[in-house]
Amino acid sequence: MLTEHLDQIKAHADPERAKGMAAYHKASREYIGVSNPVINDLTKSWRQSLSVDDRVTLAEELWKTDIYEARLAAAKLLTQARIRPDEGAWALLQSWLVDFDSWAIADHACMAAQKRLTADPTRLDQVQEWTQSEHMWTRRAALVATLPWTKQNHPSEADLEHRDRILGWAASYVPDRDWFIQKAIAWWLRELSKHDAQRVIDFLDQHGKAMKPFARKEAFRFLKNQLE
């Protein structure tokens, strides 16, 4: 199964583009030089033709190649709201956390994780364990994978509880000076400010001074008009 699908990706190879991608992402792995729209089209067709079990198997095989485009395709195979049953997909996504080493691959995998978390919010108990990891990318993933809880205009009481829980994780990250962690805190707050400004204001009142200046500024970006 792997060879057939990997060959479909490689059919769109662009060596010059691959050189530029390697220089940009700076992670040491193979790059084929295939654009995101092409990967989107391929994985869309694969999702339509493969069973859930086969999608999970293919995603696992693609990920293990450590080829940039193959890992994106693996994540995109699992980025779908309705996957039933989805326990295998969720377990596979969690197994990838230790391999995260660059924002692009991590973010695509986290987009797939977002779908599985909104499908079953009880999985936030497992995500809370990520926040205690020694692996920076795993800790970061706890915020990126939970971004859907920043976006509800009319959240339920349960969603508000989840929102406050995740804000607690963000607060625990504030002393971490890593750029990517600070950026993730700012990202979560910035997105939340579009829908729940008061919670962000309260967070910044309590923790803003301890955040890195760029992160505080980013978190505050959409609040300016609301406070004027």
- Mean pLDDT for the chain? 96
Q: What is the DSSP letter of 132?
A: T
Residue 178, pLDDT > 60, answer yes
Which pair of tokens denotes residue 4?
């057939």
Can you give the pLDDT at residue 26?
Answer: 86
Q: Tell me the whole-structure pTM to 2 decimals.
A: 0.96
Number of H helices, E strands in the chain: 14, 0
Residues 6+ apart with CB under 8 A from 190: 218, 219, 221, 222
What percent of the chain lies above the pLDDT cut of 70? Answer: 98
* Cα(143)–Cα(170) distance, integer angstroms: 7
Can you give the pLDDT at residue 17?
Answer: 97
Domain boundaries, the chain: 1-119, 131-228
Packing angle of the helix pair 157-173, 179-193 (nearest 10 deg): 150
Residue 228, pLDDT > 80, answer no
**pLDDT by residue (tens digit) across 68-84?**
999 999 999 999 999 99
CATH topology of domain 131-228: Leucine-rich Repeat Variant (1.25.10)
Per CATH, 1-119 and 131-228 having the same topology is answered yes
**pLDDT by residue (tens digit) across 75-112?**
999 999 999 999 999 999 999 999 999 999 999 999 99
Packing angle of the helix pair 179-193, 213-220 (nearest 10 deg): 20
**pLDDT by residue (tens digit) across 132-175?**
999 999 999 999 999 999 999 999 999 999 999 999 999 999 99
Mean pLDDT of 16-21: 96
Per the CB < 8 A criterion, the answer to whether 78 and 55 are in contact is: yes
**Phi, psi (deg, nearest 5) at residue 64:** -65, -20
Residue 64, pLDDT > 60, answer yes
Residue 227, pLDDT > 70, answer no
Can you give the pLDDT at residue 76?
Answer: 98
Residue 119, pLDDT > 90, answer yes
Q: Residue 21, Cβ neighbours under 10 Å: how many?
A: 19
Residue 6, pLDDT > 90, answer yes
Mean pLDDT of 185-208: 97
Radius of gyration of the chain (CA): 19
Residue 224, pLDDT > 90, answer no
* Cα(62)–Cα(191) distance, integer angstroms: 32
Instruction: For 1-119, give the CATH class.
Output: mainly alpha
Which residue from 43, 41, 22, 46 is spatially nearest to 32, judged by alpha carbons?
22
